[in-house]
A and B are shown apart, each in its own frame.
Chain A
Amino acid sequence: MRSLQCFWAIFALVVVALSGCPEFAPEVALLASTAPPPSRTARIDHRDVAEGPSTLTISNGVVMRLGCWDSCDYTCEQPVITSADPGIVQVRPTYGLAGSSIGYVLVATAPGSTRLTVATDCAEHEYAVTVVDE
């Protein structure tokens, strides 16, 4: 009996050791690098695809600097960020001096809803954007 328990314990350890780490799908995410002005909103709610749509809510007239992260190298190099309706939210590059990386800002130009897509060599992700008039 005791040897049987020992066998199953060793078997379980071998199974765990051989299985390695669980694999996750590549992922890219946008981050809000700046806070909105008082009483206004600039919020990104990132979710895994299985958890439902990611959302981005921003007040009309507010500008938000975007940060980016991806699961491949954690640097999110050269992301392509696209607004489905630039009449509602515009994606603008930031001015980068020599040697500094170029970032992006999001400009809420009119109330409404649209989509924002961020894509890198690692992954792609979509956000449901709502520009609120407050």
Chain B
Amino acid sequence: MSVDTRLGCACIPVFSLGAALIIAGCGDGGTGGRPSGLPGPSGLPPQCGVMNQACLVERNDAPLALGSRTELTVDFQNAGHAGLDISLEAANPDVLLIEGWLVEAVGNGVSGLLVVAPNGAVIDFLHIWVAEAEELRILAWSQTGDLLGRVQPEVTLLVGDEVLVSVEPFQNAQPLLGNFDLQRTIVGDSIAIVPDPVGGLYRVVARGEGPATITFEALGLSTAWQIEVLP
């Protein structure tokens, strides 16, 4: 059994009149959550804050999975000024828990996420949804980062084959965002799993003939993948 943890790579650029504040975040390595650096299953346009000062531009186009978290960091492009010491606040701490730049989804529902200046003034705000995951799906990716689709629950590989996959939480047809602890269990010696250098991806390698079962567990859910490796 193996456990990986990845803290997110969500990005929230903040643009203001006459100055540009950029909040962008990338987390640590590990797995669990949508792969970093890839477009992801849903490629929706950026969502800007209601005061048009902040825009979510990468992988913030869906609800956060309940129990997941994402880490944000701030980068300022503020010509002629030092950057403000801004902070984040949650309107409903029963939904979002903020610790510095770490946003944790702790309850179902919606909460405003306030970007706040040192004097308490609100620069902009966005609404973040939190939803409970109903299933984990195993998604296959090409070597160039294109999403190929959902893997079949039972597959057949040849010795030497490699499959690049991610494990993502879904509610109905909606992929959910956030990062989480992901456990994997392998039964059988015919395959090996190598975490990919790109966070969130697994490289599944068929090493020898025989059956194997991979079980992924996260957010109180599990999914099993039956693999038969042929000579």
Interfacial residues, chain A to chain B (CB-CB below 8 A):
34-35, 37, 40, 59-63, 65, 92-98, 100, 102, 105, 107-109
Contact = CB atoms under 8 A, between A and B. Distances in A.
A34 B50 contact: yes
Contacts of A62: 91, 110, 112, 127
Given A37-B110, A95-B123, A100-B17, A61 B51 contact: no
Contacts of B91: 61-63, 107-109
Contacts of A97: 16-19
Interface of B: 16-19, 50-51, 53, 91-92, 94-95, 109-112, 114, 117, 120-123, 125, 127, 129
Contacts of B123: 94-95
B127 A102 contact: no
Task: Please report whether the interface of chain A is mostly helix, strand, loop or mixed according to DSSP.
Answer: loop
Given A95-B117, A109-B91, 10 more contacts: A61-B95, A61-B110, A61-B112, A62-B127, A92-B114, A92-B120, A95-B121, A95-B123, A97-B16, A100-B17
Nearest to A96: B121
- Which of B18, B50, B114 has most chain A Cβ within 10 Å? B50
A93 B122 contact: yes
Contacts of A59: 110
